[in-house]
Structure 1
Amino acid sequence: MSKSGMQTRRSAVYLLDQVLGEGRLLSEVIGSGALERLEPAERARAQRLAVDTLRGLERADRVLQKHLKKVPAMTVQNVLRLGTVELCQGGAAHGVVNDAVEIISKNKHQSKLKGLVNAVLRKVDAEGQAEWDRLRIPRMPKWLRKPLVQAYGSEVMLGIEAAHFAGAPLDLTAKGDPEALAKVVEGDLLPTGSVRVSVGQQVSALSGYTEGDWWVQDAAAALPAKILDVKPGEKVLDLCAAPGGKTMQLAAAGAEVTAVDDNPSRMARVEENLKRTGLTAKLVVGDVMAQGGEYDAILLDAPCSATGTMRRHPDLPFAKDGSEFGDLIGLQEVFIDHALGLLKPGGRLVFCTCSLLPDEGEVQVEEALARWSGVRVDREALLVGGVDPEWVTEEGGLRLRPDYWAARGGMDGFYMAMLRRE
């Protein structure tokens, strides 16, 4: 690899240090400008290398343990992890090993270990790939795995972990005809209407990006707006709207959309995406609880643990420990009650979370129905095109998991339910 390639790998190691050493999310690190010196293609590659390493971290550590007498300092360990993942996934030894040695050579605190890095990665290149292929699928950390096994069972859990390890393809939502979009981008038209393309492509280079014909949105994340099924002219509120995929779906359907989120930088992205796609919505940067008025329909994508998005964000289990779950669950309850209070008589609310935890989905709806005598769940609304009736849960919501559509590349974990105010 060129000098720029070495800088890309060094940046990937920095990302790993921040996630594994400082407990930061990749989005937070990248959003702070950590990779701004890299060209766009190099920036994307550095991020991809870090994501691949986090996804295969358990396997990498098992391959490395036989070659290390003791665990080295964090940065050296992450250089070795990155190199191991690349080598075991078919990377060229010359570039991988040379760059790893160069990275350590330029680290004034660890430069004396460049010989160790060279020797270990040469052994990994000779023996590691065969061992890698024999190792089990990496497992979630215990703090998260335990409640999910309780919710779904061990066999389902293995399927979820296999989906996480496989990673996520790229899904697009069409502003117009999804079948036409699938042909233009040479993608796979999914049963629910999303268009799936392979990863590794530069998003902005795909046909129709500049023209605003589509936006990136996981197939699972595209379903809440389809279930809400807004009509032209309806007054609709999109709560916790950023980054705006659902806002654009609602606007494309002709609704009069007000999108609310308290994060200014994320709302700036919503504004950019609306401009690119030629869609319009009223954007409000502010607190959900400060919103008033009456609406025909509300979409509440509540703040949650985001555990359903781990196949595309493998940094989550390393940057979190579950300690925030209680606060998030309490916030979701408050937001649901506030949103129901903003509905016109006969109005409808879709509550959703990108979480695998029943406490952030099924339980929230059960408890909301117990609190509100004038609210009912609408099961029939969930059965939009391509939705498997087996995904509908006992209380009347829709539970999506990463192991669904495994042969097609899976989907994010999501929960959603339609509540109608009588």
Structure 2
Amino acid sequence: MGEGGLMTRRRAVELMTAVTEGGRLMAEVTGGLLAELSPAERARAQRLATEALRWAQRSDRVLGPYLRNRPEDPILNILRLAVFELFEAGEAPHGVVNDAVSLAKGPKSGLVNAVLRNVLRAHLDWTALPVPSVPKWLRKRLVAAWGKEAVAAMEAVFAAQTPLDLTVKEDAEGWAKRLDGELLPTGSVRLAKAGQVSALEGFDGGAWWVQDAAAAIPARVLDPQPGERVLDLCAAPGGKTMQMAGAGATVTALDISPARMERLAENLARTGLSAECVTADVFEWSPPAPFDAILLDAPCSATGTLRRHPDLGYAKSDEGIAGLVALQDRMIDRALGWLKPGGRLVYCTCSLLPEEGEERAAAMASRHPDLVFVTPDASGLDPAWRIPLGLRIRPDHWAGRGGIDGFFVTMVQKPA
């Protein structure tokens, strides 16, 4: 694969180790670790790290018989990456093993060489091994909420190759054809294999942006109208802001992170859309006037995005969930105070945990009995998603289509 391939694999291993050893989310470290790579190499390194982590459980089963002791994370991740490339990605063994040995360096290179050659000699049936399971702390909660059968179906979706979803400014059907993709019932365009996103037709011209089909639904449910004043809370990186601006609304986008707001501004510039960008703490900022509609995509465990972000399973635990739940309630109450009479609020989280979704809606109803819960009405909504207080979207609901992120969405209207 050459020196360029070796460097890409080195950076992929470093990304994996930042997650497994450092407890960091991959998005937090990608910019620094991959800065020197070309766009194509960056995309490949990120894909290798993501997929190797997705299959790490199965790789560990393969490696176990040939390891007397668990090696330190950098060496273990070299082995995990190699096993993924050999058996799941189907790369040529010679190049994979040679690069793995080169990455190990020093005395550990002999261990890596011996283990991988033993693995190759075993002629194992990779596909017969169990599908990777979600982390124990999360699996217990999911089984309690949805049952073992549903969780097993989600795990099968998490193990599959994740397609890429796009939200298109206009002519979604035409762009689906141009990019050889599928127009989903909800209006998103799905690409089975995308490669380097920035190299796709329409990226430079801002014709579309990357946004999972589930993440595009809250703004469709809110249904902002031309001329309405709309607030996007926790807005970065801006997918929902761009949806609402594209619908003709006057959008204020608020987020506490300067770095994430910079990315939102870049996305707006690329797509030629406009919004008022505010970098502030939601509990310290106040709007000059109330809004017609507010979209609150609240901070959450992000457990619904495991199919796209397997690093979550290594970098997160359930320790912070109680704090997130309290924060979600405070943000809901804060947002409701900024609505005009008759205004509407969409609350959503990319979580599979009822305490961050259904239970927050029930608590909102208890605290604000005058609110009216509005039945979500947007094109392409799957009947399986509908629940009494909104929408519950699970990855297994679209298993046959390549999955979808887990989301909870509810909409309420303030009394007129």
TM range (shorter): over 0.9
* Counterpart residue identity of residue 7, structure 2: Q
Offset of 1:385 from its aligned partner? Answer: 1.1
State the Cα deviation string for residues 66-125 of structure 1 (Å, max 9, x = none): 1112222222111111111111121210110000111112xxxxx112122112111222
Asked if 1:171 corresponds to 2:165, the answer is yes
**Aligned equivalents of 2:206 and 2:194: distance in 1?**
20
The equivalent residue for 1:400 is 393
Offset of 1:291 from its aligned partner? Answer: 2.5
The equivalent residue for 1:21 is 21
2:114 to 110, 113, 119: 119
SS in 1 for 2:33: coil
Asked if 1:261 corresponds to 2:255, the answer is yes
The equivalent residue for 2:174 is 180
Which TM-score applies when normalising by structure 2?
0.97
State the Cα deviation string for residues 198-242 of structure 1 (Å, max 9, x = none): 234211121111111111100000000000011100011110000
State the Cα deviation string for residues 304-337 of structure 1 (Å, max 9, x = none): 0010011110000100111111111100000001
Q: Is the 8 A contact 1:88 1:125 kept in 2?
A: no
Offset of 1:145 from its aligned partner? Answer: 0.6
Q: Is the 8 A contact 2:39 2:196 kept in 1?
A: no
Unaligned 5+ segments in structure 1 are 106-110
* Counterpart residue identity of residue 410, structure 2: A
State the Cα deviation string for residues 145-166 of structure 1 (Å, max 9, x = none): 1011000000000011111111
**Aligned equivalents of 1:36 and 1:285: distance in 2?**
25
Map 1:74-113 → 2, pairs under 5 A: 74-89=73-88, 90-105=90-105, 111-113=106-108
**Aligned equivalents of 2:51 and 2:369: distance in 1?**
48
Asked if 1:53 corresponds to 2:49, the answer is no
Q: Is the 8 A contact 1:241 1:261 kept in 2?
A: yes
Identity of matched residues, %: 55
What is the aligned-residue RMSD (CA, Å)?
1.1
SS in 2 for 1:288: coil
Q: Is the 8 A contact 2:347 2:410 kept in 1?
A: yes
Asked if 1:30 corresponds to 2:27, the answer is no
The equivalent residue for 2:314 is 318
What is the count of residue pairs matched by the alignment? 412
1:352 to 348, 354, 368: 348
The equivalent residue for 1:366 is 362
1:277 to 271, 279, 289: 271
The equivalent residue for 2:292 is 296
Map 1:322-337 → 2, pairs under 5 A: 322-337=318-333
Q: Is the 8 A contact 1:63 1:128 kept in 2?
A: no
Q: Is the 8 A contact 2:245 2:273 kept in 1?
A: yes
**Aligned equivalents of 1:15 and 1:211: distance in 2?**
30
Spell out structure 1 runs of 4+ moving beyond 2 A: 125-129
**Aligned equivalents of 2:365 and 2:235: distance in 1?**
24
1:224 to 210, 214, 218: 218
**Aligned equivalents of 2:180 and 2:91: distance in 1?**
27
State the Cα deviation string for residues 163-196 of structure 1 (Å, max 9, x = none): 1111321001110121111122121000100000
Q: Is the 8 A contact 1:235 1:256 kept in 2?
A: yes
The equivalent residue for 2:65 is 66
Which TM-score applies when normalising by structure 1?
0.96
**Aligned equivalents of 2:232 and 2:315: distance in 1?**
28
**Aligned equivalents of 1:397 and 1:350: distance in 2?**
10
Unaligned 5+ segments in structure 2 are none
**Aligned equivalents of 2:212 and 2:84: distance in 1?**
26
Q: Is the 8 A contact 1:304 1:355 kept in 2?
A: yes
Asked if 1:418 corresponds to 2:414, the answer is no
Offset of 1:409 from its aligned partner? Answer: 0.6
**Aligned equivalents of 1:64 and 1:128: distance in 2?**
13
The equivalent residue for 2:148 is 154
Q: In 2 relative to 1, CA 116–377 (structure 1 residues): closer, same or farther, beyond 3 Å?
A: same
